[in-house]
Structure 1
Amino acid sequence: MTASAESLLRPTQVVRETAPAKVNLWLEITGRRADGYHLLDSLVVFADAADTLEARAAESFSLDITGPFAPTLRGEPREANLVSRAVEAFCRVTGRTPALSITLTKTLPVAAGLGGGSADAAATLRLLERLQGTRLPESIRRNLALELGADVPACLENRPLHMTGIGEQLALLPDLPDLQMLLVNPGVPVSTGAIFRLLAPPWSEAPEHPPGSGDADTLLEVLSKRRNDLEAPACTLAPEIAQTLGALRRTEGCALARMSGSGATCFAIYRNHGERAQAAEALRQRYPNWWIA
């Protein structure tokens, strides 16, 4: 790898990469390690809703953040942003110089249980791999992602998967049936650390076998038997989450409503596009300040 990443970009060329929202269809806490990290079992899918990264040729690395949720991130130091950290980590292991300009369009809520920052970091790694024209060796790729955050390896895969361990053990799954899903965030901050501090044994006992494929009804039946163990403590800290879940469950055609990750984003699944569209319109009229996708 002798050419630098920026040499693969023509002066007027723009390379784009999406960072889809990560949705935990279930998230069960199965134990806690001696070092304090919690063990989990989760079925993860990725939504159409996504942040977007654009890379352009430049003399040195720069990061610009735009989009409706950009103000939340603009106050943090550049080196704290996961996109910047992903660029620096990638260049460290490849020996490349980070001479490009990246624009992050932030359309996903921040700290919302959708893995937004992790998705951005993973999208950055995918983008840089495209620029260098080759994929990193799998072990280096996975370790680099895990260094950036527990959710980054899953977001790097960007496809349905079964997540265990502290989030680093991933089993890729066959494509699941398309789900008509609504994502809703009431706009309240939730501290992941505070939620985990409320957790206590007994822990959940996950089934031995990972989820299989099937039609939408089969998947809904499987999902109905699982849960998000972070949902109850999150509702204690932020009652708006319980309000959001109640509003989703009252929409016509809602087959399942649950919180994703550590919240505050919740999702609802519908059996057809019409029911989902009708629910989205009803919620937008009643709760105009909620983020709905």
Structure 2
Amino acid sequence: MSLRKRSCWIHAPAKINLTLEVLGRRSDGYHDIRSLMMPLALADCLEISEADEEHFDVVADGVDLGEIWPANRNLAWRAAELVRQRAGVSQPLAVRLIKRIPIGGGLGGGSADAAAMLVALSQLWKLGWSRQELMELGAELGSDVPGLVHGGAVCIEGRGERVTPACAEAGGWEPQWPVLLVNPGIAVSTAEVYQTCSRSGVLTSETNFYNIVHSALLGGNLQAVAGGLFNSLEAGVFQKYPAIERIAQLLKAADAPGVLLSGSGATVFALVRDVEQGEQIRRDLPGGMWSRLTWTLPDGVMAAHGFLEP
């Protein structure tokens, strides 16, 4: 390894789930799912440098860091430790994580940071790991990580480890649509939401939700995609957190084509017809809510990065 200290930065795009079907509980305690996931232009950013001593710093950019975990529990840092362990590298790192994705919001922020770290260190240290190898590493860190390493619209199955590009049949073309995100600042426990889903018996096995939205996505049909949005977890979350349901009701009342809870929440997203509609709805929202107008992104961390070397 070169004696010169190298550095890089990488974007870590958020995600939404256009469909999320919880199919059943596994023997390992996790749940089998089937989901159509899309990355967003909204992204955290990691600045990574080789250093003499370890340093991990988190900076807020428009989000509340009240729930941020210490470095040893942060997924990005755990990803760095995993890479060093597997690659036999002992190089200390200085990491600056700029958070723009709400913490615990159902937008995959922590998983995105982990995916970005895997990709960045593989490139920085010229490890030569393939995307598949990085996805397999990602599966050890979290269910959303493999899909976010892959990038683009993907179908994720199993615990999240089985990833298939959703738009390969269209030659890789993916639509870019404006998306309004709204988060009331409520902390939602993902584990608790899944447990509630299992206890209530709200487990789906139909293929219709994914198939309908997938076909519409391939055709670039926003209205059809909006009409097929589905999340097995939504009803349970709305029942336990009425404030989140009220956000969905507001967005539907504003005539957004499609409204859905993202992941386990607390963020609700709206597919909007255009930027003008998204901005108008955002202006009319009650005060005190985090909101962003962003876009679906045709690629992910495999493409949305740049490397800075002195």
Fold shared per TM-score above 0.5 = yes
Structure 2 partner of 1:220: 223
Q: Which residue of 2 aligns with 1:54?
A: 47
Give secondary structure in 2 for the equivalent of 1:177: coil
Closer/same/farther in 2, CA of residues 272 and 69 from structure 1, 3 Å limit = closer
Q: Could you tell me how far 1:8 is from its partner in structure 2? A: 5.7
Give the letter aligned to residue 71 of structure 1: L
Residues 73, 201 of structure 1: CA spacing in aligned structure 2 closer, same or farther, 3 A cutoff?
closer
Q: Deviations over 1:17-72 (max 9, x none)?
A: 11111111111112222333211111100111111111234213311011144632
CA shift in 2, pair 1:28/1:207, >3 Å: same
Number of aligned residue pairs: 280
Change over 3 Å in CA distance of 1:155–1:37 after alignment to 2: same
Local SS of the residue matching 1:28:
strand
Question: In structure 1, the residue corresponding to 2:205 is in which secondary structure?
Answer: coil
Counterpart of 1:231? 234
Q: How far did residue 251 of structure 1 move?
A: 1.7
Q: 2:282 aligns with which of 251, 271, 280?
A: 280
2:91 matched to 1:93? no
Choose from 255, 270, 281 the match for 1:268.
270
Task: For residue 73 of structure 1, report the CA deviation from its aligned partner.
Answer: 4.8
2:259 matched to which residue of 1?
A: 257
Name the counterpart of 1:292: 291
Counterpart for residue 17 of structure 2? 24
Question: Which residue of structure 1 aligns with residue 100 of structure 2?
Answer: 107
Give the match for residue 296 of structure 2.
none
Question: What SS is found at the alignment partner of 1:72?
Answer: coil
Assess if the C-alpha contact under 8 Å between 1:189 and 1:264 holds in 2.
yes
1:271 match: secondary structure: coil
> Bigger shift: 41-50 or 59-68?
59-68
The residue aligned with 1:201 is 201
TM-score, structure 1 as length reference: 0.88
- Report if the CA contact (8 A) 1:40-1:167 is conserved: yes
Q: Which runs of 5+ in 1 are unaligned?
A: none
Contact 2:229 2:259 in 1 (8 A): no
Aligned-pair CA distance for 1:237? 1.5
Task: Tell me the distance in 2 between the aligned counterparts of 1:31 and 1:223.
Answer: 25
Correspondence list, 1:134-153, <5 A: 134-153=127-146
**1:241 equivalent in structure 2:** 244
Greater RCO between the two (CA within 8 Å, min separation 6)?
2
Check whether the contact 1:44–1:163 (CA below 8 A) recurs between aligned residues: yes
Q: Measure, in 2, the Cα distance between the counterparts of 1:177 and 1:101.
A: 37
Matched AA of 1:201: G
Give distance in 1, aligned partners of 2:131 and 2:14.
Answer: 23
- 2:16/2:40 contact within 8 Å kept: yes
Report the CA distance between 1:248 and its aligned residue: 0.9
Match of 1:84 among 73, 77, 81: 77
Deviation at 1:108, TM superposition (A): 1.2
Residue 134 of structure 1: how far off its partner (Å): 4.6
Unmatched 5+ stretches in structure 2: 168-172, 293-310
Pair 35,148 (structure 1): closer, same or farther in 2 beyond 3 Å = closer
Match of 2:163 in 1: 170
For residues 219-267 of structure 1, the C-alpha deviation after alignment (integer angstroms, 9 at most, x for no partner) is 5314423410100101112111101101111224x10100000001010
Q: Which runs of structure 2 are paired with 1:23-42 in the superposition (5 Å)?
A: 23-42=16-35
Residue aligning to 1:190: 188
Tell me the C-alpha RMSD between the 2 structures. Answer: 2.1
Worse overlay, 201-210 or 36-45: 201-210
Q: Report if aligned partners of 1:190, 1:237 keep a CA contact under 8 Å in 2.
A: no
Shift of 1:158: 2.2
Confirm or deny: 8 A CA contact 2:248 2:259 kept in the other structure. yes
Where does 1:127-138 land on structure 2 (aligned, <5 Å)? 127-138=120-131
Instruction: Give every structure 1 segment of 4 or more consecutive aligned residues whose post-TM-superposition deviation is greater than 4 Å.
Output: none
Output the CA distance in 1 between the equivalents of 2:121 and 2:67: 22
Sequence identity percentage: 32
Distance in 1 (CA, whole Å) between partners of 2:270 and 2:128 is 35
TM-score (ref. length: structure 2): 0.83
Distance 1:100 1:82 in 2: 15
